[in-house]
Amino acid sequence: QSVLTQPPSASGTPGQRVTISCSGSSSNIGSNTVNWYQQLPGTAPKLLIYSNNQRPSGVPDRFSGSKSGTSASLAISGLQSEDEADYYCAAWDDSLMVGVFGGGTKLTVL
């Protein structure tokens, strides 16, 4: 049982916009920034979004992040087949005093 809650799956067709939610609590998302990671099949995770809504260099602007209260969201617009991957949210938890991950969302491009 992950501290942060994500839907196990999401899907969309090429060109569509999809969003992935990440729900937490006042001790993590509610008081700290959220990061998102993309894990393509058979590879190590890669940083996708940091500090709620910042994109590292090289990440297309089709990817965007937002946070409101104790929830965060990752949006992918103009969905492409290469976006098919697992997506994880993460945040620091002030009560546990450690980082925590969501359970991951498997994105399928139909």
Least Cα distance to 21 among 80, 103, 99, 84 occurs for 103
Nearer to other proteins, 59 or 75 (CB): 59
- Contact residues for other proteins, defined by CB under 8 A: 2, 32-33, 35, 37, 39, 44-47, 50-51, 56, 88, 90, 92, 96-104
Nearer to other proteins, 18 or 90 (CB): 90
Which amino acid type is present at position 80? Q
Nearer to other proteins, 81 or 98 (CB): 98
Q: State the minimum distance, in angstroms, from the CB of residue 67 to other proteins.
A: 13
Q: State the minimum distance, in angstroms, from the CB of residue 77 to other proteins.
A: 22
Rounded Cα gap, residues 110 and 103, in angstroms: 22
Within 13 Å and on the Cβ side, how many CA atoms surround 109? Answer: 16
The bridge status of strand 34-39 relative to strand 98-101 is: unpaired
